[in-house]
Amino acid sequence: MPGTTPRPAAQPDPRSPFVIDTHEYARRPGSMRTVHDTVPAPDLLGDKDGVAVVPPGSDVRLDLRLEAVVEGVLATGTARAAVVAECVRCLEPLDLEVEAEFQELYFFPGEDTGGDEDAVFLVNDLLDLEPVVHDAVVLALPPAPLCREDCLGLCPECGALLNEDPEHEHETVDPRWAALADLKDQEDSNSGTAPVAPPAQDHQE
């Protein structure tokens, strides 16, 4: 039974560096085109409060293969971008690179998608890579980046960077002994503040 066909997307902006015109080859199954380009990140890629993001406007390197198939145009590629991150243990800043692979079939308008509600379409032979690249890069960001595998992190008491001072430590006292010491100090204090009166003497005439 044929699937339902989702409504085609809105007209992509042809001025966007993520929008590609496939007019010359989209209707010729078997034809192919490769694209190698550097485009600006359109928005913050990643959670703004997260530990790894691709800043807006930073370079995203695209290596892309576009293949005309019967249903539309198959886009297969890789996106690479510099990542601003911080170590989840010591919070030191990190300079990383993310590499994300992606593949998406852009259907011709009216083509049966087999019930895929997330299917994307060509609009006037234009395809928009931005949503696909965005999702691929975000999924490829490291969830818990480290400056090194054996990062020692921060001192939980004073926040000192333990990578710079592995021998860093604080003197600790067993709370049970600390309680006894406090009790002794209190007893000593009480015994010193209550002088004993001399016994009364009888006087005879």
DSSP string, 14-60: TTSTTEEE-TTTTTSTT-EEEEEEEEE--S-BS-TTSSEEB-TT-EE
Residue of higher predicted confidence among 56 and 169: 56
Q: What are the sequence ranges of the domains in the chain?
A: 19-140, 152-189
More confidently predicted of 61 and 13: 61
A 10 A CB-CB count for 90 gives: 18
How many Å apart are CA 97 and CA 115, to the nearest integer? Answer: 36
| pLDDT, tens only, 118-132 | 899 999 999 999 999
Q: At a CB cut-off of 8 Å and minimum separation 6, what does 100 contact?
A: 78, 79, 80, 133, 136, 137, 139, 140
- Is residue 2 very low, low, confident or very high in pLDDT (cuts 50, 70, 90)? very low
Per-residue pLDDT of 6-47, as tens digits, reads 555 678 888 999 999 999 998 899 999 999 999 999 887 887
Least confident window among 72-86, 156-170, 178-192:
178-192
Q: What is the pTM of this model?
A: 0.72
Is the pLDDT score of 86 beyond 90? yes
Give the mean model confidence (pLDDT) for residues 133-158. 91
pLDDT score of 3:
46
pLDDT at position 174 is 63
